[in-house]
Structure 1
Amino acid sequence: MGESQEEPIICIPGQRLCAADKTNIAGQGTYEQLGYVYSKFAGTVKVVKEKDTCTVEVHGMTDQSIVPAPGDIVTAMVTLVNQRLCKCIIKCIGDIVLSRPYRGIVRREDVRATEKDRIEMYKSFRPGDIILARVLPMTEAHTYQLSTAENELGVVIAHSEEGVSMVPVSWTEMQCPKTLIKELRKVAKVVPEEVILQNE
């Protein structure tokens, strides 16, 4: 019996590992959702036992098998926009570039925090836009629901009809530096790290 305990437990991304309670706590490489601990990526399960608790961890074989988890900030490219939602492809989680893309959607009610009933999807996103979004708890398999309802989230890169990278001019507009034509977007308030670095 003792030998079989030594065999590593292999898990896949999104696999339910155990119930999350006072005894079992989600640790590194896992996340908690709806009372259960899930694996963030493919790897081996490790249980760290302490006095009254067990911390469940997953140690990945590679970082490339990581999957989006609720609360993560992701970078995604918009592929389709209609009146109810926009579809996108998740390219990065934090600063990790994914080896395979995941499908995500931003619903109309998750675009911004205020005036939700007045949101028009075409004035928030366009296909080809690069957005920053937060992953919401999953309600359906294979599609990640995303939210841009925070100041720092929304469109970070957009191209005008001329194909030129536009510059944000307000919370709701970006401008083409070539034609000076303004286009409506849900603009992300990006903290310019380069400015901080240059001043140091």
Structure 2
Amino acid sequence: MASDILLPGQPVFLRGPAPSLGGGLYLSEGQVRASVVGVPRQQGSTISIPRIRPHPPTTNSVVLGTVTRLTPIQAMVSISVVDDVPLPTGEEFIGVIRNQDVRATEKDKVKIGDCFRGGDVVKGSVISLGDARSYYITTARNDLGVVFATSEAGATMDPVSWKEMRCPKTGRLEKRKCAKPEGLVGN
């Protein structure tokens, strides 16, 4: 049994004799599946998934979200994951990445349109609670920035540097503020 966080509907892989099912699990077509977000736990002969309660972002929370709107000075992000915990369907928080919060150096040269595009998935860190409607997010660390983007040709792009991604279909480079992929040396 893995110790990864499971989402509702994902299968739970069991080893050994089948335990009895506790809360957070169900049986579908002979497969044990998660019904809540959480990590499977086995206690005696019973396996269950205690529900992980999502919490609103706080200062220093690491968030994942999708860019929903761009202006010349900021990117609006619909936050869907807070500190590795997915938010329930229908619950979302709004984040704002201001041009001065995109990178640590040359802040005055940042052009939001060269860093993000609508639909990009961004990893960021909350720097303040912003106003009543949104959280201020930074991508000014090497591990923060765009983690998933689709090219104009519709393909999933690969990062080639901290500021460019390549379309595997066309080979064309597009500007983004990329998050350094985990385990990558150099860049």
Fold shared, TM-score > 0.5 on shorter chain: yes
Q: Distance in 1 between matches of 2:152 and 2:60?
A: 33
Structure with higher helix content: 1
User: Which of these residues, 93, 104, 127, is aligned with residue 95 of structure 2?
Assistant: 104
Q: Residue 142 of structure 2 is aligned with which of 129, 147, 151?
A: 151
The Cα offsets for residues 37-67 of structure 1, whole Å up to 9 and x where unpaired, read as: xxxxxxxxxxxxxxxxxxxxxxxx9644411
Q: Where do 1:25-104 residues align within 5 Å?
A: 63-99=52-88, 100-104=91-95
Q: Contact 2:123–2:144 (CA<8 Å) still a contact in 1?
A: yes
Which has more strand, going by share of residues?
Answer: 1
Structure 1 runs (4+) greater than 2 angstroms displaced:
61-65
Q: Distance in 1 between matches of 2:158 and 2:52?
A: 33
Relative to the length of structure 1, the TM-score reads: 0.64
Question: Which AA in structure 1 matches 2:164?
Answer: E
Structure 1 residues 148 and 115, CA gap change in structure 2 (3 angstroms): same
Alpha-carbon RMSD across the aligned residues, in angstroms, is 1.6
**1:188 alignment partner, one of 170, 179, 183:** 179
Aligned-residue sequence identity (percent) comes to 39
Residue 170 of structure 2 corresponds to which residue in structure 1?
179
Q: Give me the whole-angstrom Cα distance separating, in 2, the residues matched to 1:144 and 1:116.
A: 20
Mapped pair 1:166 → 2:154: no
The alpha-carbon deviation at position 140 of structure 1 amounts to 1.1
CA distance in 2, matches of 1:185, 1:153: 12
- Who is 2:115 aligned against? 124
How many aligned residue pairs are there? 133
Shift of 1:68: 0.5
Amino acid of the structure 2 residue aligned with 1:97: P
| Gap regions ≥5 residues in structure 1 | 1-60, 194-200
